[in-house]
Amino acid sequence: MKHERNVYVGTFDEFREFIIDRIYEDCQNERHSDFKNYDFAFCYTLNDLSLPVKELYDDAEGWFGIKYLDTGFGSSDWRQFVSDYYGGGDFGVCSIFLDDLDRDYVAREVEKMIAMTFGHRHSSDICVWEEEK
C-alpha cells in the first residue's frame, strides 16, 4: 500500500483492512464519531502497484463511498456506517454495538457491509481510496 496526501492505492485486501481499522478506531471513541469518509474505486485497465499513485487514481472508475451515518436517534450504544455506489443500487450498512467491542466483531460487520455493496472481489484487485478532507 502507498499513498500521496489523502489518496491511497493498494490491493483490495489492504483497503478492506484499512477500513476495518478506521471503523474500529472510531468506535473506540464512545462519545462521538470522528470517522473520515472515504471514496474508493477499482482499477480495471492498470493492474500494477509500481505505477505512480496519480496514474492509478486516474485509471480508477466506478466510485463508491463509505460514510458514518448519524441516524439522529440519540443512541450512544451503536454506531452505523453505510457504503454505496455513487450510481446507486449497491447499498450496504453495518451497525456496531459499542459495549462488546473487539476488532474481530468489527471486521465481521464491516465485511458484511462490503459484500452487500459490491459482492466478493479478488484480494489482489487494485483499489484506490481517498479520505475526504
Residues 3-53 have pLDDT tens digits of: 999 999 999 999 999 999 999 999 998 778 889 999 999 998 888 999 999
Residues 80-122 have pLDDT tens digits of: 999 999 887 888 999 999 987 999 999 999 999 998 887 767 7
Q: What is the pTM of this model?
A: 0.91
> Could you tell me the three cell numbers for 56?
492509478
